[in-house]
Every structure is written in structure tokens, then in C-alpha cells.
């Protein structure tokens, strides 16, 4: 294993990889896994990857699990990167590709994180976990816990899409539906953790979950023969994919496998846009916002745990943050399905709506190459898709 | 292109690849694409595949499309083959793997067929198609037609799962919900074809759709480094995957890339088991059965178009055909989700229920290696999964 320790993003304090604390013991900052990149460089070359299996575990050296026997896998990762010429024409882009990251075992990108975080739980000998989630992360954790034989207790909002709750239930999770805001749900999970002592695995804070997300960047680079796109556009709630992808690109740059990092853009909902607010006001940190309704439930995070890190990535990658409303999300969901035969859930389609905004603002040039992350399958939330079909005429 | 012509399975008559007839013009037998295997052998070697992209089009030489520019792809194929030790223990198998073929762009294995059949439509300059489907095939065709800019009209049973209809609708298909039996739906599609002259693309008859299905076999062989399993178990309705997989394994054997063909087993529902009835009575052809209710809607085919071919594959591969009831299907759906974190739709879980039957009957030995095809994602049919959760206790 080439992972060395856990490094606090805020104060730089290091912790052993086996530390069960979710945040820095010194300053409560978020933790990141630190690697010995030189050792990785001596150990593998990108050409070796051609002989590796179709799984994100092909990037084994970049993942913080000691023993292969602890790897809990359901065949996640290596999702398709497809060209979208017909949808691209709508937003006037000639070089648009979509990363169909919903083509993961539970139908959402969260599986990238869960395969690593649950493998780590297995390695640590954990038998039982608690998590809070708006839906996709919970369903994903439940699936990997089922495969690992770990008991999983989930705290979810009462209003989470029934499909995601059904998944988690079938995977065997013990589910507590909480009335109130998303923050109330997180509080209920924290209370359960404090009173029971059961391992708490909140995915947006979990350093191992974040490591799985890096593979999103590796896959884009490898699929394009290490010639990365000019821009990558993400729907951002907790920011694990956004920050994870940055970490991935940065590692590849350090290794010399790529020669630049794409500009990474962050799309939020106008109903919940703490990062956009911090970005436009040039704030150094993200202030929590009030919770409001949006069909993009996956990015309705009022107080992102990795807020500072997200702002840093925006700055370092020269990315932008914009917000879009539900009407635009619904329009792009329908336009994508109609023109490309791709059905993504509303949260993913927020990224598409935001893409149009970035083109309009000339942040993305018409001849530049762009990848958009489609993070959740359309069947994860059929009610809003039905509504979109009826409400939004395509011109 | 190494495809030569269309060969009638019944009378051996050949037709040009461009022939728009769905069946043999001489005897109405089903058609198969014939290849120049020697030319393929001279052109590629299995080692070359390592440099090919993650898509079923990596097997380009085995697919009957002339020009790459006509390929309509959404990133289908190369689905995971995962080990299932915890679920395997329930059926007492030590070497059980699951091919998660629901991890295709529309959530079902049908995309393997649609990518090839719609590419062929594009190559032929077809602008509009008609199809009948119980759900998954229709949603898949609609998606690929959307990507190709081909108008798609679907005839579906009124009772098809709402999720599949929603997908097709969003992909822009024109949908006609037909009251009555599955056969009535097929008749309505045929009538529309006869009166309008619009290209009729029934997937179970379509020779190009069948070609896409072959890749299922190639992928299993390649993932296992060309050492194929002892058994492969399929849910069988129209039989396109079953027959397609056989054709794929047979071609690999001809090329010398594998040294044997697995035994291919066919699982049906007790509510609709024309193939099982023909198999147990040693009949030479399949007689239509009456339609009855089952939660395995994807295999409720009363009169499979490729019936004779299915029987031939059973015979040549030394496979067996067994039927399972809804109670068993629901039990195995829940047991799979609970033990492996995999959520498959009822039709796929019929194959698992049948696997248990084949083990009980000692057709599959406890030390033999087995792959089961999981063809549709659980979110394709949430109503039956909810019912299964409530009705079936796990012991």
C-alpha cells in the first residue's frame, strides 16, 4: 500500500490511517489520505493499466487498502465516456462528452466512494455502521455493506425518493426516516453515533470515500489517452466527487502522466447554493444557507463539510460556480433523453443546465473540449421525471 | 466488415445483408448473420483486444456494420463479472459469478442488441421504425433511436412496468399501450407495419440485434482470460441472449480462442414455459402456450420466434431448461440484494431461482464454475420488488 497517513486539510496535522476519527483530532478539519507518490511512480507505469481488469481497482496503487482480500467490489467504475453531438448542438458545443457515471452497480457515482470506504471498514474489522444520506449515498453504502456482511443503519429524509429507499431496504439496511430538514437528518445520525458508539461513516467527510472518487479523474484521463479535456462540469452538493476528481488529476500531473489539469466547474441549485454564494463574493469559506425545495435533491446540501476545499479547487483549477433553477434542470433532462437516449436524474441534469450557463457566460468556449459528470440514473427518481415530461415543452 | 450474408436457420437460404425482410423470403425461417471466420482469424488476435476501448465495439470485427461512422453507441457492454460468495453459499456453490448485464446505458442487457440493430438501421438509411416490447427492449430501442435521430414507434402492453414506459417516453418514442395479451401487442405492431410500411424491427427476430448479444459470451471469455465457466444460466423469453451467447462461444471455439463451450441453461417462469415444455417432452419444436400472470414479465413470451434455435442450443451445449414460480423469484431477489448488495429485476432473479433448481437436480455440481446473467436493473420494476420485500421472509 502506498497510502501513508491521514492529513488534515486545515492544520496539516497527521493521523494514522487506522484512526477512527472522522475529522482532525486537533482542529476538527477534514482529512485527506496522503500517498508516497514517488513510490507509486517507481511501482507502476500507465502502460501497465492496459492489462488490468475493468474495475476502478485497476488503479489499485492509488487506493488506501492494505490487503486485496479486504476489497469489497461490485464491479464499480470504468463507466463510459460518450460523445454527445446532438445534445452538444443545443448548447453549441462541438466537443462535448458525457461521463455516464450512473452506470455503477447501484445506479449512482457514490459506488466509487463506497467500494473504498467499505473495504476500509472491513480492513478495520468494523461490524456495524451509521450513515445519513439524502438517498444515493445511503443506497450505495447499504449495498456494499450487504456484500461485506456489515450491518448498516441509515438516517434519511422522509421525502427521499422512494426508489432510493427501496434499494437501501432491499440491501438490508435498517432505515430511519426523519421528518424535518436535511440538517435534522444528519443530527439524528450523529446522536445515534454518540449514544451507541457504532462507527459513523458520513460519506462527505470520510477520507476513504473521497479516495474512491479520485478514480473518476483517472478514468477520464485514461479514456482520452492521457490528453485531458479543457473543462469538467460537476453537480456539487457535498463536493466529494468534485474534490476527489481534483485530487486525482493532481496526482496524475505529479506523476507526469498528464500535462495539465482541466478547469473544474461547480453547478448548484438556486434553491441551495452555498458554494456559488461564496464563489461570487470571493469568500474564503462557505457559509451555511437556508434549506429550500428543489428537484435536485442530491445537491441540496446547506453546509458542505468540504466547503473550503471546494473553494480551493475552484480557485486552483480556474473553475466557476453557477446555479440553475428547477425549470432549467427539467428542460435539460428532457432534452438529453430526447437527443442522446440518456436518462439521468435531476441532480445530474443540473450540471447540464449549468453547462449552458457557462457557455452563455463564455467561460467555456465553443471549440473547447468538455466532459459533464452524469452522476445518477434517471430511474432513481421517476416522479420528477414524469413531472418534467409533462411540464417542459422542448422547442 | 467480415459479415458475409444472412443465412436462414431453417432452410439455409442466403440473403444479402441489406435485405429488409425480417425472416427468410423462402420459408419464413429466422435469419442469422454469417461471417468469414477465416478472414477474422487473419485480421485479429485476442491479444489485440487489450488495446481496445471499454465498449462492446472492442469486438468490432465480429459485428456486421460496414462503416464506423454508422455506429450508434451509448457505452454499452463490458459489464462486470463479479464473484458472489455470500449468495453462492445459499445455493451451496463455491464458484459462482454474476454478470451484471443490467449495467448497460438503459439499465438492461437489450442495449447490446440495440446498439447493433440501430447502427444497421442508420447504415441502411432508415428514418423510422416500429417495434413491440414488454418494456426493456422498447426502452432500449427508443434510446438508441434518439441518439441516431430515428423516429421510434412502440407498441407495449398496458400493464408494462411504468418505469420502462417512462424511459421510452422520455427518449422520445411514440407509445401505443395495447390492452390484451402480449400476442395482441405484437399483432398491433405488425398491423401498423403492414398498413404504414414503416420498418418493423422486432428484436427477437432481428438478426442484427442477435449479433449484439454475442458479445455477452466474448466478455465472459475475455474476463476469465479465455478459460470459460462450466455453466452459464439465463432467463429465457424470446431467447436472443441465449442464442446470441451460444453463437458467440461457438465463434470463439472456431477461432481457437477457447477450447470448449459452457453448458447453457434456460430458466423460464412456470406461468409461461413453452421451452421447458418442449425440452422435457423432447419435442423438435416449441408449441405456443397460453398466457398467464408472472412478475417475470421480461420472459413472458408464449411463442418464442427462435424456439427451434433455443432447443438446438440446449441440445448442443448439453444445457437444461427448468421453470420457477413467482414465490421463488421473489425470494431470490431479496436474498441476492441482502447478501451481495445487488438489486436485479424479477426476470433476472428467475435465473437465480432456476440455478437453485439445477443444483438440486445435480445438473450443476457444487464444485463447478457458474455464471448467471442478471439482465435487468431492479429499479426497472419497483412495484414487484416492494411486494417481494413484504411478502417473502428470508430464513
pLDDT digits (tens, 9 = 90+) for A233-262: 999 999 999 999 999 999 999 999 999 999
Domain tally, chain A: 1
**Cα torsion through B343, B344, B346, B351, rounded to 10:** -120
**Cα torsion through B338, B340, B346, B352, rounded to 10:** -110
Q: Is B380 on the interface with A (CB under 8 A)?
A: yes
Handedness of CA B349, A378, B383, B270 (dihedral sign): negative
pLDDT category of residue A395 using cuts at 50, 70 and 90:
low
* Cβ proximity of B6 and B14 under 8 Å: yes
Low-confidence ranges of chain B (pLDDT < 50): none
Q: How confident is the model over A342-393, as pLDDT tens digits?
A: 999 999 999 999 999 999 999 999 999 999 999 999 999 999 888 888 888 8
Question: Cβ–Cβ of A166/B389 closer than 8 Å?
Answer: yes
* Cβ proximity of A118 and A144 under 8 Å: yes
Q: Look at residue B11 in the predicted model and tell me its pLDDT.
A: 94
Distance from C-alpha of A213 to C-alpha of A236, rounded to nearest angstrom: 13
Q: How confident is the model over A24-53, as pLDDT tens digits?
A: 999 999 999 999 989 999 999 988 898 888
Q: Look at residue B395 in the predicted model and tell me its pLDDT.
A: 66
Question: Cβ–Cβ of B223/A378 closer than 8 Å?
Answer: no
User: Looking at the domain assignment, is residue A169 inside a domain?
Assistant: no
Distance from C-alpha of B96 to C-alpha of B355, rounded to nearest angstrom: 10
Q: How confident is the model over B326-354, as pLDDT tens digits?
A: 999 999 999 999 999 999 999 999 999 99
pLDDT at A182 over 90: no
Q: Is B338 on the interface with A (CB under 8 A)?
A: yes
Q: Which residue from A minimizes the CA distance to B101?
A: A105
Task: Spell out which residues of chain A touch residue B382, defining contact as CB-CB under 8 Å.
Answer: 162-163, 166
> B24 to chain A nearest CA, in Å?
32
Q: Is A277 on the interface with B (CB under 8 A)?
A: no
Q: How confident is the model over A326-349, as pLDDT tens digits?
A: 999 999 999 999 999 999 999 999
The distance in angstroms from the start CA to the end CA of chain A is 54
User: Looking at the domain assignment, is residue A59 inside a domain?
Assistant: no
Q: Please name the member of B162, B170, B223 whose beta carbon is closest to the beta carbon of A334.
A: B170
User: Looking at the domain assignment, is residue B152 inside a domain?
Assistant: no
Distance from C-alpha of B279 to C-alpha of B307, rounded to nearest angstrom: 11
User: Looking at the domain assignment, is residue B76 inside a domain?
Assistant: no
Q: Is B166 on the interface with A (CB under 8 A)?
A: yes
Q: What average pLDDT does the segment A55-61 reach?
A: 95
User: Looking at the domain assignment, is residue B138 inside a domain?
Assistant: no
> How does the average pLDDT of chain A come out, rounded?
94
Q: Is B121 on the interface with A (CB under 8 A)?
A: no
Question: Cβ–Cβ of B343/A389 closer than 8 Å?
Answer: no
Q: How confident is the model over B149-162, as pLDDT tens digits?
A: 999 999 998 888 89
Residue B372: CATH number of its domain: 3.40.50.1100
User: Looking at the domain assignment, is residue A324 inside a domain?
Assistant: yes
- Taking residue B370's Cβ as centre, other Cβ atoms within 10 Å add up to 26
User: Looking at the domain assignment, is residue B99 inside a domain?
Assistant: yes
- Give the bridge partners for B14, in sequence order: B7
Structural domain containing residue B242: 81-108+207-391
Q: Look at residue B264 in the predicted model and tell me its pLDDT.
A: 98
The closest alpha carbon to B306, from B215, B228, B378, B234, belongs to B234
> B177 to chain A nearest CA, in Å?
17
* Cβ proximity of B251 and B62 under 8 Å: yes
pLDDT category of residue A82 using cuts at 50, 70 and 90:
very high
The closest alpha carbon to B176, from A389, A391, B187, belongs to B187
Task: Spell out which residues of chain B touch residue A71, defining contact as CB-CB under 8 Å.
Answer: none
Q: Is B172 on the interface with A (CB under 8 A)?
A: yes
- Taking residue B45's Cβ as centre, other Cβ atoms within 10 Å add up to 10
The closest alpha carbon to B245, from B269, B276, B210, B273, belongs to B210
pLDDT at A134 over 80: no
User: Looking at the domain assignment, is residue B339 inside a domain?
Assistant: yes
> A108 to chain B nearest CA, in Å?
11
Q: Which residue from A minimizes the CA distance to B84?
A: A147
Helices (H), chain B: 37-43, 85-90, 110-124, 136-148, 162-170, 182-196, 207-223, 240-255, 274-280, 307-317, 326-340, 346-360, 382-391
CA A255 to chain centre: 23
Q: Is A85 on the interface with B (CB under 8 A)?
A: no
Q: Is A226 on the interface with B (CB under 8 A)?
A: no
Question: Cβ–Cβ of B340/A149 closer than 8 Å?
Answer: no
Amino acid at each position: 500500500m502506498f497510502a501513508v497517513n491521514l492529513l488534515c486539510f486545515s492544520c496539516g496535522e497527521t493521523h494514522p490511517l487506522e484512526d477512527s476519527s472522522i475529522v482532525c483530532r486537533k482542529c476538527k478539519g477534514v482529512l485527506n489520505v496522503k500517498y508516497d507518490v514517488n513510490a507509486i511512480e517507481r511501482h507502476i507505469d500507465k502502460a501497465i493499466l492496459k492489462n488490468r481488469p475493468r474495475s476502478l481497482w485497476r488503479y489499485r496503487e492509488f487506493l488506501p487498502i492494505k490487503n486485496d482480500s479486504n476489497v469489497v467490489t461490485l464491479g464499480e467504475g470504468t463507466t463510459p465516456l460518450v460523445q454527445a453531438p446532438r445534445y452538444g448542438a443545443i448548447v453549441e458545443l462541438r466537443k462535448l462528452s458525457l461521463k455516464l457515471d450512473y452506470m455503477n452497480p447501484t445506479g449512482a457515482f457514490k459506488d466509487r466512494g463506497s467500494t473504498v470506504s467499505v473495504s476500509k471498514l472491513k480492513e478495520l474489522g468494523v461490524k456495524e455502521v451509521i450513515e445519513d444520506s439524502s438517498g444515493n449515498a445511503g443506497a450505495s453504502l447499504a449495498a456494499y455493506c450487504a456484500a461485506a456482511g456489515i450491518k448498516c443503519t441509515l438516517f434519511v429524509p422522509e421525502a427521499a425518493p422512494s426508489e432510493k429507499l427501496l434499494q437501501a431496504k432491499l440491501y438490508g439496511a435498517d432505515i430511519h426516516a426523519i421528518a424535518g430538514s436535511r440538517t435534522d437528518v444528519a443530527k439524528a445520525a450523529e446522536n445515534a453515533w454518540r449514544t451507541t458508539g457504532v462507527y459513523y461513516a458520513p460519506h462527505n467527510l470520510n477520507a476513504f470515500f473521497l479516495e474512491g472518487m479520485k478514480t473518476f479523474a483517472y478514468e477520464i484521463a485514461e479514456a482520452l489517452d492521457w490528453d485531458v479535456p479543457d473543462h469538467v462540469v460537476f453537480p456539487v452538493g457535498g463536493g466529494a466527487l468534485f474534490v476527489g476528481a481534483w485530487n486525482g488529476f493532481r496526482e496524475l500531473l505529479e506523476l507526469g502522466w498528464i500535462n495539465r489539469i482541466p478547469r473544474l466547474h461547480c453547478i448548484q441549485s438556486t434553491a441551495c447554493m452555498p458554494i456559488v454564494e461564496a464563489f461570487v463574493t470571493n469568500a474564503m469559506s462557505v457559509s451555511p444557507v437556508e434549506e429550500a425545495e428543489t428537484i435536485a435533491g442530491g445537491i441540496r446540501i446547506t453546509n458542505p463539510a468540504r466547503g473550503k476545499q471546494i473553494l480551493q479547487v475552484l480557485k486552483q483549477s480556474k473553475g466557476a460556480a453557477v446555479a440553475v433553477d428547477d425549470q432549467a434542470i427539467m428542460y435539460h433532462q428532457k432534452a438529453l433523453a430526447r437527443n442522446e437516449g440518456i436518462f439521468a436524474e435531476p441532480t445530474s441534469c443540473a450540471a447540464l443546465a449549468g453547462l449552458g450557463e457557462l457557455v452563455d457566460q463564455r467561460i467555456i468556449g465553443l471549440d473547447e473540449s468538455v466532459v459533464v459528470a452524469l452522476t445518477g440514473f434517471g430511474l432513481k427518481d421517476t416522479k420528477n421525471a414524469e413531472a418534467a415530461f409533462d411540464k417542459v415543452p422542448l422547442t
